[in-house]
Amino acid sequence: MGKSPEEEHPVKAFGWAARDTSGVLSPFKFTRRETGDEDVRFKVLYCGICHSDLHCVKNEWGNSTYPMVPGHEIVGVVTEVGCKVQKFKVGDKVGVGCMVGACHSCDSCENNLENYCPKMLLTYNSPYYDGTNTYGGYSDHMVTSERYVVRIPDSLPLDAAAPLLCAGITTYSPLRYYGLDKPGMNVGVVGLGGLGHVAVKFAKAFGTKVTVISTSLRKKQEAIEQLGADSFLVSTDPDQMQAAMGTLDGIIDTVSATHPLLPLLGLLKCNGKLVLLGVPEKPFELPAFPLILGRKMVGGSGIGGMKETQEMIDFAAEHNVTPFIEVVPVDYLNTAMQRLAKADVKYRFVLDIGNTLKAD
């Protein structure tokens, strides 16, 4: 049995919240539940700013509830554990990603795919079991069931580890699931932003040959020299696209802007796979003939289960896969959001919560 309301002792918390669709965030005092038997409480040190945070604070997906404390790329140090917690102890470096709950009984949950559970609870902007709304990592501390906490290896810098909890697992999982993780394979990555640059890093760590596909030549130097891509393809150049027809085993498409799929399908070999990670405002046009004539596949993927998320973090630590980040203080948050809206960041903002979040 749970505790009655009279027995609950909520813990004071402080963070930054959006109050309305303007998307402007400001200091916010609230409470978190006390540490339950299976809970891990940790001091937040860093929290990544994901593009979905920007969509949510402005209610661009139509499901936002205010006040909203965003943030689902959260890392820190454990300060308290419940009496039944087995995997973590005080002082451990930990992280929480996009989800904090699921039903634990459906087919997805039983196959370690809590991310596809119909009852998955998001880390923020989601009604929790106790009727409250979940608050994310733009805050001083978190309390989460140990089932949704991952261990951060000592060899992984905490600030750079934060975006892996969303961008990392979002790109690692489809590379694994769709079999695009075999050395020597030819893998394309569309878009060189927050997701795309991490996809390039993981694909290279798997030993594949990576082609970055972009609308502009201006990102060629950073793709090849900084990220280690093997080749660069300008999608608006018909000659380049024609020359690359039928050369790729798979493509990870990270772009959220509306764009045609037909040219990308042409780049695939027979049995090739085009995996969509971005969410454009308008539905894609999907021609059937290119799929039929080459037995090609168009699929999707969304984050990953907790077992795979831990696997991804451990792989990243072992292979030195870290995103390019710009660490900013909390009072820079609204400016960072404005810059993110203009894609003016290489490639992920990370909030320095531990050093710069000050309670009034």
For 113-152, what is each residue's pLDDT tens digit? 999 999 999 999 999 988 889 999 999 999 999 999 999 9
- The domain spanning residue 130 has which CATH number? 3.90.180.10
Cα(232)–Cα(217) distance, integer angstroms: 8
The residue-averaged pLDDT of 283-308 equals: 95
Alpha carbons 214 and 218: distance in angstroms, whole number: 9
- pLDDT single digits (tens) 272-295: 999 999 988 788 989 899 999 999
Boundaries of domain holding 91: 11-166+324-356
The reply to whether 288 falls in a domain is: yes
Report pLDDT digits (tens) over 215-271. Answer: 989 999 999 999 999 999 999 999 999 999 999 999 999 998 889 999 999 999 999
- Shared domain check, 174 and 252: yes
Whether the Cβ atoms of residue 331 and residue 177 lie closer than 8 Å to each other = no
78-87: pLDDT as tens digits: 999 999 999 9
Instruction: Give the model's pLDDT for residue 360.
Output: 67
Length of the chain as a residue count: 360
Q: What is the 3-state secondary structure (H, E, C) of 49-86?
A: ECHHHHHHHCCCCCCCCCCECCCCCEEEEEEEECCCCC
Q: Would you say residue 318 has pLDDT above 60?
A: yes
Q: How confident is the model at residue 257, as a pLDDT?
A: 86
Q: Is residue 313 part of a domain?
A: no
**2-39: per-residue pLDDT in tens?**
444 334 678 999 999 999 999 999 999 999 999 999 99
Together in a domain, 73 and 187: no
CA-to-CA separations, 191 to 89, 160, 236, in angstroms, rounded: 40, 20, 13
181 and 155 in a common domain: no
Number of domains within the chain: 2
Whole-angstrom Cα distance, residue 68 to residue 76? 21
Same domain, 22 and 67: yes
Residues 127 and 174 in one domain: no
SS3 content of the chain, % helix, strand, coil (to 5): 30, 25, 45
Written as six digits, the tokens of 269 are: 């070999």
